[in-house]
Amino acid sequence: MYRPNLAFIKSSTPRSRECKRFLRCSTLWQLNKPTLAGPDPTALKVKFRTWKTFFDEVDIFSKVALEPRFDFSTFDKQGLKVLRNTNLEDEDVVKDSSIDAFENPCLKAIETIYGGRSRPVFRPPSPFLNIGFPSRVLIFQQGEGSGFQGMPMPKLLVNTKTPHELPLKGVDIVTEVNKNRKDGANKYLRAVHQLHGYMYYNKVDYGILTTVESTRVFRRIHTTDYPEGLLEFFKAFRKDPTYVPIDPTSTFELPETILLLEGRSKINTPIPGLKLGRENSAGKSAKDLRFLLQHAIGRCHSKVIRAKAFIAGQDPETCTGTSVIVKMYDLYNPKTILKYKKRYKHLSSLQGTHIPRLYVSGDHIDGGYGIVVLEDCGKEMNEHVFKDPATKEQAKKALLEIHRLGVLHGNIRRSNITYDKENGSDPLQIRIIDFGNATFDTEKVTDSAKEFEIKRITSNLNE
């Protein structure tokens, strides 16, 4: 932004008064400009403490198996070599170096304990995670996967930072986090808040926070003694390489999750079937709404879950509630949720007829995820139903209306078209869903691009 010379402003010429007005207007714009949605680390409620029994547990788990067959000095030499040849200011270089300095020795240790049949491997987070974007995940490729769509469940999450971004060396991170719980800008609180959210909502017990030159190990414990959760931490020393006690057969028991929204979250359209009186109206706070998360039905830009909406104070198991679709977005990567809300607002006139209604938008009470609550429009389209000319014509009409408002969907496929036949309507109620790839950029929403989508929807849309 243009900044006038301060010495020039002090003069009494007409030009200086003009500059003063410019500065006043600029200051007001800065104060009133819209702020981007982001995470709220101060919402972290989990108890955070040092993992005092770490060495005892690791010794029981791995020492006997490792000592006769594993040369720890190899790790030390390799790690020091990597550090000497690493530009620790470059995020991509640090992440690549962590493979040599941390991942490879860790895999060797796990294979020594469990044998090669366990097939441990570090991978990028997609497609193994439900939500979030850590640097890497550890999976075991043995047997059939028990995760989403048969994928292996991650057993460990790794978040890699540069030492410039997060100076870990010599830092007592437990003290830093616990004394700065109310400081949302504190880099240590933000890093722990981010990693904890990834661990919890992906049902992963163990996490690693590393800058290559310094590494921290985290474990989440589930006990009734700590209803808000318990997160333990241990510092991994370079001269005593750390191997987390990870069992390939272990499972993370997460109770049924009831999702709560923070107070600023707003109702966009009242949810049918919920009697909140005047509170269940557009623009009101969604703080009294609750969502019992039932099962994941998809993921791409977000975690997509079918849920039961009900009112605070009701028994979630016995109340009737209303079926809705909940999308959770990682606020540490906020671009998607901002675009999603903007696109739904642009298409507001089509909600309830050609696209789902947007009921609620806001942030999760834990501060790490953005939440969008949508109308449950039924089942994903299948090949048999889509062969009906009337169904195909309805889908085409819906897409034409979207195009009429200057929006290109960007991902037309059967799984992004829903139908509802349980209400006995004839013809079926057809909706187009998932606007994560949509755009209303005039340079992209061309006649040829729209024609391509129309051709897609009038074909059989083989996935």
pLDDT (tens, 9 = 90+) of the chain, 463 residues, equals 333 322 222 233 343 444 444 334 433 333 333 333 468 899 888 899 888 877 666 565 555 444 444 444 444 444 445 445 555 566 666 666 666 666 777 777 677 666 666 788 888 887 777 778 888 888 887 655 555 556 788 888 989 888 888 888 889 999 999 999 999 999 999 999 999 988 888 888 888 888 877 888 898 887 778 878 889 888 765 444 445 556 656 655 555 678 888 878 888 888 988 876 555 566 678 888 999 988 777 655 567 889 999 998 899 888 989 999 998 888 887 566 666 778 888 899 999 999 999 999 888 888 888 888 999 999 888 888 888 888 889 999 999 999 999 999 999 998 899 998 655 556 688 999 988 888 888 899 999 999 999 998 887 665 5
pLDDT at 178: 95
pLDDT at 405: 95
> Do the Cβ atoms of 95 and 119 come closer than 8 Å?
no
Burial state string for 366-398 with b = 16 or more CB within 10 A and e = fewer than 16: bbbbbbbbbbbbbebbeeebbeeeebbebbeeb
What are the beta bridge partners of residue 267? Answer: 360
pTM: 0.74
- Distance (Å, rounded) from C-alpha 413 to C-alpha 158? 33
- Distance (Å, rounded) from C-alpha 415 to C-alpha 255? 29
The answer to whether the Cα torsion of 173, 176, 182, 184 is positive or negative is negative
Sheet architecture: strand order including 303-311: 258-260, 289-299, 303-311, 322-330, 369-375, 358-363, 266-267
Q: How many residues does the chain have?
A: 463
Place of tokens 């104070």: 313
Going by the DSSP 8-state scheme, the letter that residue 440 receives in this structure is: -
- Distance (Å, rounded) from C-alpha 211 to C-alpha 86? 11
Nearest Cα residue to 77 out of 60, 100, 51, 94: 100
DSSP secondary structure of 281-294 = STTSB-TTEEEEEE
**Coil, strand, or helix at residue 302?**
coil
For 28, 219, 446, the CA distances from 31, given in Å and listed in that order, are 5, 41, 37
> Do the Cβ atoms of 394 and 430 come closer than 8 Å?
yes
Nearest Cα residue to 261 out of 131, 372, 129: 372
- Residue spans per domain, the chain: 41-236, 258-375, 379-458
Q: Phi then psi for 195, rounded to 5 degrees?
A: -65, -40
DSSP secondary structure of 326-355 = EEEEETTSTHHHHHHHHHHHHTGGGBTTTB
| Cis, bond preceding 167 (omega within 30 deg of 0) | no
DSSP secondary structure of 207-242 = EEEE-SSSEEEEEEE--TT-TT-EEEEEEEBTTB--
Domain 379-458 class, CATH top level? mainly alpha
**Coil, strand, or helix at residue 121?**
strand
Domain 258-375 class, CATH top level? alpha beta
> Do the Cβ atoms of 207 and 218 come closer than 8 Å?
yes
